[in-house]
């Protein structure tokens, strides 16, 4: 009964442009910002995003296909291929899309101290005939990686590779902070705690996308999640905002 109610709410909720979800908690990352009310992407994901509803940032600095329908950008792998990351990341999973049907691949990770590390516990999920999702469940030797090394047993054509840099679980989360900053130029609406979880990375204070506390020895900022999450990385966008001096 509760599940049916949740599904109805997700359909009837009216969200602002480029937002979707039962609480309007997901931001559109579709190509051309062309999202349906359910978060589907008719034209595919923006080139830096992939996965379910395009909610996962792609850190692979290699071939990817924006609409993921064709196979225009290809690279034939005879046995090995190294793919560097745009951002160093705590590797959890990647998606590979081939031209041919393939069941399995092997891979190793290059850590920031230049050591190649195999994943001792990996799972491979076949999404369709040519798409594999590969998960690394190894938590004992977890470290930040900067490259992935893919090995296959036969010559195949790789059309796309996506490496997950994670999903922003702080988006639209509940927030609190100590006393809110304001001055003669900017009222409290420019510095509220919820501004920092709006998905906008602008450092311009006038854009109302930053939070700021009043000066204090015990300044505090807190995020509360709706459900439990395993946090693999924190990414903060901050500015000293020198122009705010009253």
Domain boundary among 163, 190, 213: 163
- What is the predicted pLDDT for the residue at 72? 64
The CA distances from residue 95 to 20, 56, 121, 202, in Å, are: 24, 11, 17, 29
Residue 96 covered by a domain:
yes
- 70 shares its domain with 132: yes
- What is the predicted pLDDT for the residue at 246? 39
- 16 shares its domain with 102: no
**pLDDT 10s digits, 88-115:** 888 889 999 888 888 778 888 877 778 8
Domain boundary among 109, 133, 163: 163
The CA distances from residue 23 to 33, 95, 171, 245, in Å, are: 19, 28, 11, 36
The CA distances from residue 52 to 95, 136, 137, 164, in Å, are: 11, 18, 20, 12
Residue 47 covered by a domain:
no
Q: What is the domain range of residue 118?
A: 58-163
Smallest CA-to-CA distance from 36 within 17, 8, 55 is with 17
Smallest CA-to-CA distance from 244 within 162, 185, 196, 157 is with 185
- 84 shares its domain with 108: yes
- What is the predicted pLDDT for the residue at 181? 92
- 93 shares its domain with 10: no
- What is the predicted pLDDT for the residue at 6? 41
- 14 shares its domain with 98: no
Residues of the chain with pLDDT below 50 are 1-10, 67, 242-246
Domain boundary among 101, 130, 163: 163
Residue 124 covered by a domain:
yes
């Amino acid at each position: 009964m509760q599940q049916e109610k949740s599904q109805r709410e997700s359909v009837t909720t009216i969200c602002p442009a480029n937002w979707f979800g039962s609480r309007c908690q997901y931001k559109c990352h579709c190509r051309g910002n062309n999202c349906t009310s359910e978060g589907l992407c008719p034209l595919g994901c923006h080139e830096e995003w992939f996965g379910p509803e395009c909610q996962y940032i792609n850190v692979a600095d290699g071939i990817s296909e924006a609409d993921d329908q064709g196979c225009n950008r290809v690279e034939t792998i005879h046995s090995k291929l190294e793919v560097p990351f745009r951002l160093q990341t705590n590797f959890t999973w990647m998606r590979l899309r081939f031209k041919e049907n393939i069941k399995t691949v092997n891979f190793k990770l290059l850590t920031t101290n230049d050591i190649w590390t195999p994943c001792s516990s990996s799972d491979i999920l076949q999404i369709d005939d040519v798409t594999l999702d590969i998960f690394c469940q190894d938590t004992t030797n977890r470290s930040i990686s900067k490259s992935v090394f893919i090995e296959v047993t036969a010559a195949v054509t790789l059309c796309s590779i996506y490496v997950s840099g994670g999903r922003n679980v702080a988006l639209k989360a509940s927030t609190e902070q100590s006393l809110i900053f304001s001055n003669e130029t900017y009222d409290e609406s420019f510095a509220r705690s919820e501004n920092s979880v709006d998905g906008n990375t602008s450092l311009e204070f006038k854009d109302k996308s930053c939070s700021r506390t009043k000066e204090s020895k015990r300044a505090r900022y807190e995020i509360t999640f709706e459900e439990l999450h395993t946090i693999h990385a924190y990414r903060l966008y901050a500015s000293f905002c020198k122009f705010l001096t009253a």
